[in-house]
Amino acid sequence: MENETPRTQTFFRFEDLRIYHKALDYIDWVYNATGLFPSDHSSELINRFNAAAQNIALYISEGSARNKSQFVYYLKMAKSSIRECVVYTSVAEKQGLITETLVDESRTFLMEMTKMIGALIGSLQKSNHKNNSKPYHSAKPEGEFQPEPQEIIEDDLSTEIFGN
């Protein structure tokens, strides 16, 4: 028992998601990369690139507070923001604002996040399908209260979804 470290959970469950932390790392990367841009002619690109990077994390956090089907929707919105970042990376490269090395770093981040979100969506849909294939309510007597199931992330997904 002494060797076991207790799993610390945060109040906000999305903070336990590996993809959320990857998105935060990408936000830092974008801030650092756009900080190298000359501010005279690229401020609009800087603002849009930073906003798109932030939206990845924001959609993940917002979706995590919803039911599974809504979470999947928000994860798809996060993937849309990832595609925006691909475009901004390409624009910055064509404008000569970032090096080929930085382009590769950005694309690597974006591909990894796309794969992680895809896996998370697959897990959520698989568990949602599994839950939908079993009827929740059995025949119940008239007037007997039976609570509705909550659509939350199941613990059996934790190893695939959460970092701990």
Specify the pLDDT at position 38.
Answer: 86
Specify the pLDDT at position 131.
Answer: 64
Token pair for 60? 């993940």
Is 39 among the domain residues?
A: yes
Extract the residue ranges of the chain whose pLDDT is less than 70: 1-9, 41, 128-164
Q: Give the model confidence (pLDDT) of 151-162 as tens digits.
A: 334 443 444 455
Is 103 among the domain residues?
A: yes
* Domain with 64 in it: 13-133
Is 8 among the domain residues?
A: no
Is 101 among the domain residues?
A: yes
Q: Give the model confidence (pLDDT) of 19-54 as tens digits.
A: 999 999 999 999 999 999 987 767 899 999 999 999
User: Whole-model pTM?
Assistant: 0.74
State the SS3 of 3-62: CCCCCCCCCCHHHHEHHHHHHHHHHHHHHHHHCCCCCCCCHHHHHHHHHHHHHHHHHHHH
Q: How many domains does the chain have?
A: 1
